[in-house]
Every structure is written in C-alpha cells, then in structure tokens.
Amino acid sequence: MTNLDKIAHLAEKSEYDVSTPRKNWDEFDLNKLEALGAGTKHDVCASTATPRVVKGLQRIGNTSRGGICHSFTPDGRCVSLFKTLFTNDCAHDCKYCPNSDDCSTKGKTYSYTPKELADITLSLYQGNYVEGLFLSSGTGKDEDIIMEKLIETARILREDYKYEGYIHLKILPGTDKDYIKRSMEHADRVSLNIESCSKNRFHEVSSTKHYDYDILRRQRYIRDLMEKNGLPASHTTQTIVGGAGENDKEIFESMIREYRKMDLKRMYYSSFKPVEGTALDDKEEVPNSREHRLYQTDWLFRVYDLKPNEITLAFDEKGFLPDGDPKIEIAKRVFDEPVDPNEASYERLLRVPGIGPKSASRIIKSREKEEINKWSELSKLGVVLKRARTFLKVNGWTHSTLDRWSS
Amino acid sequence: MDSLYIGQVVELSLSKRKLELLKANENTERGDLRLAEKIDDDALQTARKDKIIRIRELIRETGREIHKMKGFVRFKLLGEKVKCGYMKPEHEVGFMVLDWFAKRFPGKVIVLGNKEQSWVSIYTEEGVSHEKSGSLESTLDELGEELDMEKKKDLTEVWERYYESQYSERRKNEELFKKNMPEKYMKRAGNKAERKFELQKLDKFKS
C-alpha cells in the first residue's frame, strides 16, 4: 500500500458528522450577491485575528491568531471576510447612505434567507476564498426582526454545519438587549457603528436614529455582556470622517471616549464619499489622507501608549491634523534635544519617529551587549532613519535641522 | 527554570520553527545553517551583523510565502472527501501549508500542487499524515482510484462577482495593491480572478 493509498483509506474511514451545504449554484442570483456585497464596501473589518482555540474533529474550519487576508481589491484593501448585507431594505434616512429610504437612486431591494447566506458563506470558506463572515444589514421595517435573521444565519453555521471559522456580526441600531446577547453567543466579534463623533453631529446625518438611545446605550450593553460572558475578539465601531462637517480633533476625542468608556478593541475610520441620489450627494469628498492621519493617532494612543494630551499637540488651531505624520509633529514639540539611543528609556525611544515598539525593544536589548556607534546599526535594528535621523544623536553626531538644536 | 552553573556549556539555538523556515528557503546556504546553530532567537532579533541579518531575512521570506499561500490558494471540491488546488511555491513550504489546511478541514484530503509536484495531507484521529508526490494530475488520478471524486461546479463566478463588488474606484491605489498582492504570489497561488480584474482595469486605462 502506497502512502497515497493510506491517505485515501484514512479519508474513507473518517466519517465526521458534518452537514454539507448547497452544491448547485447555477440558479443563484449573482445580482443579489453583487448588490448586497457592494452595500458593505465602506465597512472596514481589518482583522480576523481571534484568540478562540478550536479543538476536536467534528467540525469545519478553525480560526487564526494572526488573521489572514485572502485577497486585496485594486484599492489595496484586504478581502478577508465574506462581507455582505442581509438585506438592503432600510427604514432609516441616513443622508450619506445609498440604502437610505430617502435615496433617489436606490436600486432594487434584495434579501437573503438565513439558510442561503449560511450556504454561500460555507462554500466560499471551503474554497478558501474567505476567512469567515462579516454580516451587516439594513434594518428593514423592524431592526429586531432582521437581527433575528442575522442570528439565525450564524446559528445555522455554528450548529447545523459545525462551522468554527470567524464570524463578525453587526448589531443594528436600537436592537433589543436579548438579541445582542444571542448575537454574542455565536460571534467572534460584534460591532455597532457610531457613524459620527457626537450627538449633535450625528443628528446632522440621520433624523431617524437616536445617538444616545440607539447607539451608545447598545454599546454599553455589549460592553457589559462582554465583561460577563466574554467575546473572543471583542467589539469595534466605525465612524465617517467629515460626513457631518466634524474636524479631526472632534473625532479624536470621540476615539478616546470610545476606547476608555466602551472597552473597545478597535475604532475604524472611513472618509466621507458622496453617493449620487443621497441627501449629501453635492457635498465635497473627504480625502483619504484624513482617514490615514486619524489611524496614525489611533495607533499612537492604542499601541504606542501616548497620552491624549501629547497627541493633541499634533492638531492645528482649527482642530485638523496637518498633512504629515502626526508623530513627527508631536516629536518636534516634545524633544528639547536629540535622543541618544544608548541612554534613552523605552518610552522615550518610542516617541522618536521611525522607531516602533519592535525596534525600540531591539535597541535596548542590543545596547546591553554593545554600544550603538553607527547610524547603519540603527537601520539594521529596524529604525527608519529617514524619519528618525533628525531626532537622534549617535556617537555625538546629529543630523538635526531643527533650529533650536543646531545653535 | 534550572539555574546555570559556572562552566556549564549553554547551547544556543533558534526555535524549532525558525530553523524549519530557514531550512525551507531555497536560498539558504550551508554557512547560514552552521551560523544558525550558534545563535538564539534573541540574537537573531537584535543582530547588527550582516550574516545574521541575512538569516533573519531568509526566515522572514519563507514565513511570508507560507502566509500568502494560506490566504491566496483556492480549492475545488472533488466529491465529499477531496479538496484540491494549484500551488507552486518558491521555497520548500509544501507541507507547512498543507498540514495547516488539513487541520482546518479534518477528514478531508487536501491536495495542492502543479505540473511538477504535489503535496497531500489529511488530519484524523491519528494526527496528520502527509505525502509529497508527482504532478497534481497524476496524484489526483491515483487518489481517484480509491475515492469518489466527482467534480463539482466551483465558485469562481460567484467569487469574481463578489470580489468586484468590494472595489471602490474612489479609493483606487494600485501601488498598495501591488505591495499587498504581488504578481509573484498571485502566479504561485493561481489567483486568476484578481489578475483578470487587474488586467481589465489596465485595458480601460490604456483605451
């Protein structure tokens, strides 16, 4: 018996009790797939990493601690999940949204059934096209009825198909607490989009949703349920940048509130793009660079552990971030003299542009063995000299162009 | 942890995983392996010497190929038991990729390969069993003698429509796309849908 025969024999023997989904896709409505897929193209779900550990053999799939991108669209964004709406039918009037009840160019209304959606998710997962499901939806006439269907989709996947891959469920604004609890029993991650940075700004883009009641109260439910029952990959939110005329500082302040009060894992930012037929279709597009700068400040707070009052040094007097790396703007104001990598603490190194947590740790470990005497040695430890050089001093040498250091 | 005593010979070595990655890289030379025996993970991370940095890069490159293959290869289902797809890695990472998929789909025979070689893996109560074999075609022929492998309609069309629905013209960023999804890996994992869409867009741009 060859090894291939042995493998075939093992496969014959293994009768794991796992149901298989629909096999025939000939009559499947691809227009529906496209319309409901496109409805989530502005939703960001950057990570599929989850600490949930999967065991046993009676299952399909598992999870990845690091997260996996299965493709990238030509805009450079990762495609990791089957990201779709359950329905594009929505009773709300959000002024930026193509699925809004008020949108004059709103196309045909489509909906999946939970079984149909579970089938297509599992088939794409089995083909290794996706790492799991990201399920959002319009609210239909009643958000609780739609939420029930989202939960049923997840239930079919988990219980009927023994699917153990990643699931991210959107919580619809205003959803009853019991539905939130049930969603969290199946999902790795849930999220509820705050869409705007404050109550006043929110009501400029939607008159049918209540910021405190429909959004913040539901986020508190998620936070409290998570504390009690756990949720593998925690919860997240997303906000539109510039949709209601807010400046970067307003968004930054809401970011800090969200992280501190809601125990949020991540906040995502999506710069406003006008959609034809919506109430805001004549409003100017917000450049992607604003979104990028906000992600950088988010990173400084969350990963580099900079204090909010340090980060606010990067904002101009109108509350906007300048068109450059915020860390450089902060460093220009924080450092009185060039930093010596042989002397500086980890925290001080981390504040130097071009040095991240990994390279700061490497510098500290490396200098314990031997002093750093050359710029090229820093480069080998992962420091980006193009950004860092101005703020460092190596072997007595500086490359500073800052006036106060060159005198 | 036991404490060290004076005169004790301390054996430094890279973690098992890092050594596997180094050995799997096509560009690793004997000198690299000899040097790798004298350093540990910490020395690798904090290295300033070019020879050690080279080892770090070789390990990183192999790890990157494994990560990309885990994301980019696609499977067709043959019957209830077999999942097969195209893969032509640059480095010797076949089993590292295959065994990972086998654990994701217990009881299924995972087959990945190309015209020259193929890898087969399965995960059952007995653990992982795997085998390297000839061309993908001949391996499937051989397995077909043992297993029902009726070809099923694959999801290429469904995937293509979905993939296109996620693209936002206003966010077009070809530089970032090429950085994240280099042509090299698309070819090695056989990503036809992405390459087709990219070429269509280039044609539109030229016309």
What is the value of ipTM here, to two decimals?
A: 0.91
Residues of B with CB below 8 A from A76's CB?
171, 173-177, 179-180
pLDDT in tens, A121-150: 999 999 999 999 999 999 999 999 999 999
**Interchain contact, B104 vs A7, CB within 8 Å:** no
Q: Give the pair of three-digit tokens for residue B194.
A: 């992405």
Q: What is the pLDDT of residue B186?
A: 86
Q: Which of B42, B70, B98 lies at the terminal end of a domain, its last residue?
A: B70
> Is A38 an interface residue toward B (CB < 8 Å)?
yes
Whether pLDDT at B199 is above 70: no
Whether pLDDT at A58 is above 70: yes
Tell me the shortest Cα–Cα distance from B74 to chain A, in angstroms: 5
Every domain of chain A with CATH number 3.20.20.70 lies at: 29-286
Do B101 and B138 belong to one domain? yes
In A103-135, which positions are buried (b, 16+ CB within 10 angstroms) versus exposed (e)?
A: beebeeebbbebebbbbbbbbbbbbbbbbbbbb
Q: Which of B144, B168, B196 lies at the terminal end of a domain, its last residue?
A: B144
Report the residue of chain B nearest A27, measured CA to CA. Answer: B158
Tell me the shortest Cα–Cα distance from B16 to chain A, in angstroms: 19
> Is A22 an interface residue toward B (CB < 8 Å)?
no
More confident residue, B181 or A321: A321
Across A325-338, average pLDDT: 94
pLDDT in tens, A23-35: 677 788 999 999 9
Residues of A with CB below 8 A from B113's CB?
none
- Nearest CB neighbour to B165, from listed A13, A34, A377: A34
Across B103-122, average pLDDT: 96
Angle between helices B50-72 and B94-104 (to 10 degrees): 40
Residues of B with CB below 8 A from A241's CB?
none
Q: What is the pLDDT of residue A378?
A: 96
Range of weakest confidence among A307-311, B68-72, B189-193: B189-193
Q: Where are the beta strands (DSSP E) in A139-265?
A: 166-170, 189-191, 235-241
Percent of chain B with pLDDT over 70: 89
**Interchain contact, B171 vs A120, CB within 8 Å:** no
**Interchain contact, B103 vs A62, CB within 8 Å:** yes
Q: What is the pLDDT of residue B205?
A: 45
- Nearest CB neighbour to B105, from listed A8, A60, A366: A60
Across B170-194, average pLDDT: 84
Q: What is the pLDDT of residue B91?
A: 98
- Sorting pLDDT into bands at 50, 70 and 90, what band is B185? confident
Do B77 and B139 belong to one domain? yes
Q: What is the pLDDT of residue A407?
A: 43
Residues of B with CB below 8 A from A382's CB?
none
Q: Give the pair of three-digit tokens for residue A193.
A: 């989009």
Do B83 and B49 belong to one domain? no
Which strand (E) or helix (H) includes residue A84? strand A82-85
Residue B138 in domain? yes
On whether the CB atoms of residues B197 and A72 are closer than 8 A, the answer is no
More confident residue, B4 or A90: A90
Q: What is the pLDDT of residue A367?
A: 95
Fold classification of A29-286 is TIM Barrel (3.20.20)
**Interchain contact, B72 vs A42, CB within 8 Å:** no
Calculate the alpha carbon distances from A65 to A50, A58, A302, B100 in Å. 5, 21, 19, 13
Residue B169 in domain? yes
**Interchain contact, B153 vs A126, CB within 8 Å:** no
More confident residue, A99 or A2: A99
Residue B25 in domain? yes
pLDDT in tens, A263-316: 999 999 999 999 999 999 999 999 999 999 999 999 999 999 999 999 999 999
Q: Give the pair of three-digit tokens for residue A405.
A: 């250091």
Q: Which of B53, B70, B87 lies at the terminal end of a domain, its last residue?
A: B70
Q: What is the Cα–Cα distance from A371 to B40, expressed in whole angstroms?
A: 20
Residues of B with CB below 8 A from A55's CB?
none
Q: Give the pair of three-digit tokens for residue B206.
A: 């030229």
**Interchain contact, A6 vs B161, CB within 8 Å:** no
On whether the CB atoms of residues A366 and A376 are closer than 8 A, the answer is no
State which residues form the domain around B39. Answer: 16-70
Do B84 and B136 belong to one domain? yes
**Interchain contact, B163 vs A71, CB within 8 Å:** yes
Q: What is the pLDDT of residue A380?
A: 94
Q: What is the pLDDT of residue A251?
A: 98
- Nearest CB neighbour to A74, from listed B108, B126, B177: B177
**Interchain contact, A75 vs B106, CB within 8 Å:** no
Whether pLDDT at B94 is above 60: yes
Residue B109 in domain? yes
Whether pLDDT at A12 is above 60: yes
Whether pLDDT at B7 is above 70: no
On whether the CB atoms of residues B168 and B116 are closer than 8 A, the answer is no
- Sorting pLDDT into bands at 50, 70 and 90, what band is A155? very high
On whether the CB atoms of residues A232 and A188 are closer than 8 A, the answer is yes
Nearest in space to A316 (alpha carbons), one of A326, A307, A303: A326
Residue B3 in domain? no
| Number of domains chain B is built from | 3
Q: What is the pLDDT of residue B181?
A: 86
The overall average pLDDT reported for chain B is 87
pLDDT in tens, A159-202: 999 999 999 999 999 999 999 999 999 999 999 999 999 999 99
Q: What is the pLDDT of residue B12?
A: 61
Residues of A with CB below 8 A from B103's CB?
62
**Interchain contact, A41 vs B120, CB within 8 Å:** no
Give me the total of CB pairs closer than 8 Å, taking one residue from chain A and one from chain B. Answer: 198
- Sorting pLDDT into bands at 50, 70 and 90, what band is A75? confident
Residue B7 in domain? no
Do B86 and B139 belong to one domain? yes
Do B78 and B45 belong to one domain? no
More confident residue, A21 or A106: A106
- Sorting pLDDT into bands at 50, 70 and 90, what band is B207? very low
Do B79 and B132 belong to one domain? yes
Q: What is the pLDDT of residue B167?
A: 85
Residue B98 in domain? yes
